[in-house]
Amino acid sequence: MKVFVFDLVPYSANLEHLKDGQELPYPLSGKHFDPTVAATTYEEHLEAWEELDRLGYDGVGFNEHHCSPYGLMNSPNLLAAAATQRTKRLKLLIYGNLLPLHEPLRLAEELAMLDCMSQGRLISGFARGIPREYQVHNVPLPDSRARFEEAHEILLRAWQEEIFSYEGKFWQYKDVSIWPRPFQQPHPPIWMPITGSRESIEFAGRHNIPITPGVASRGLREDVIRLYAQCLAQNGHQITPDHLSIPANVYVADSKEQAIRETGPHYLYFNRTLFSHGNITETNLQRAGGYVSQNSNDYIRPENLGEAARSRQDYRGLTQEVMEKQAQAMPWGSADEVAAKLIESAEHAGANTVLVSLNRGVMPHDMFMNQIRRFAKEVLPILQAHEIRTSRALEAVPA
């Protein structure tokens, strides 16, 4: 198995005191921003990534968000550029650039630069983003999917064709040849995060793109994987363990009780304050805004539709009691328990890659570094020695 650490790079000062009831104000005024905190945040996370490289992790993942302390990775490509100079072997998973919001030729050039700077260590994640981002960048939500698909085509052509022209609805180019070109040929690996919409799953299957089903429940993950496998097959591809990666929030301690005590407050802060800041998570509201289609969830079994609804209140109203109940099924606790739960989840999904979050919320830097080192010593060798060959998720859902 391959192990990546997924890092949201949150603003490292706790801002819960700024909440009005259950809400952190949006937009959050710049008067609350401290540049020294941001500078420290970037330096600490780059130091953490150096440690991942030194200790033998397979990769680091980070993404793109805007105008929120949820994450200070407005330009993941800038972070990746810094990481190319601070690491030697670590894969750099940009998960991912938000294709509908940016000029795709510029993205093609920047990603080719990064692939050359890292000597082929780039994994290029393509994502649509969340509704908040569209408000910030003044892009209509109903245009999201069409812009994503058009930008995807432009990037592939820019990377693969010596000279190309393109005439689309949103972008047009004539006689373009990008320099530099990608280090990896024909282009860097492309991955897609999937939150559950039918159209995204079908797109990934059509183009044979590996996915990360970023869904909470096992049943919903089964539904996503089943549809994805069907879409791959319809387009002449067969699902393999390298088509799938799964996310997991992890904490290694001496016991489950110690893990809850130590990481629980950071997990609560992430869910209550950061996760849905200024954003619409509910599928029905996203559908009403044109971000997802009326049929986006029609493949999901009835018993899993509640999980697919993604209610903000489930995050903002998370209690200590509910968190402790959730923790019983999570890979929090002793190294043996963490390893066993991660392997069992990966076996069930048929995923040969896990994306572990070791620092949800605003965990102090020394605590994050301790988790990196403890996981590397006690859990990482067990996972990297294990190989996933089949998927029980496909067997669990009748065809």
The DSSP output letter for 273 is I
pLDDT digits (tens, 9 = 90+) for 381-392: 999 999 999 988
Share of the chain above pLDDT 70, in %: 99
Both structure tokens of 105: 């030729």
Give the residue-averaged pLDDT of 132-144: 95
User: Given this model, what pLDDT does residue 309 score?
Assistant: 82
Q: What percent of the chain has pLDDT over 90?
A: 92
Q: pLDDT, tens digit, for every residue of 229-262? A: 999 999 999 999 999 999 999 999 999 999 999 9
pLDDT classification of 396: cutoffs 50, 70, 90: low
Mention every residue, 6+ apart, whose C-beta is less than 8 A from residue 83: 46, 49, 60, 90, 92, 118
| Assessment of whether the complete model's pTM goes beyond 0.85 | yes
29 against 396, higher pLDDT: 29
Query: Is 19's pLDDT higher than 80?
Result: yes
Q: Is the peptide bond before 180 cis (omega within 30 degrees of 0)?
A: yes
Task: Check pLDDT > 90 for residue 342.
Answer: yes
Side chain identity at residue 368, one-letter code: F
pLDDT at 399 over 80: no
Long-range contacts: 139-148, Cβ < 8 Å, 24+?
Answer: 139/100, 139/101, 140/290, 141/286, 141/289, 141/290, 141/291, 142/289, 142/290, 142/291, 143/100, 143/170, 144/100, 144/290, 144/291, 145/100, 145/199, 146/170, 147/99, 147/100, 148/99, 148/100, 148/203
Judge whether residue 216 has pLDDT over 80: no
Q: What pLDDT, on the 0 to 100 scale, is given for residue 398?
A: 53
Tell me the per-residue pLDDT of 71-92, one tens digit each, with 9 for 90 and over: 999 999 999 999 999 999 999 9
Q: 361, 368 in Cβ contact below 8 A?
A: no
Confidence of residue 397 (pLDDT cuts 50, 70, 90): low
Averaged pLDDT, 124-153 = 96
Give me the mean pLDDT over the 343-354 stretch: 97
Tell me the C-alpha distance between 135 and 280, whole Å: 11
Beta strands in the chain (DSSP E): 2-6, 59-62, 91-98, 122-127, 164-167, 172-176, 190-194, 211-213, 245-249, 251-252, 332-333, 353-357
pLDDT band at 310 (very low <50, low <70, confident <90, very high): confident
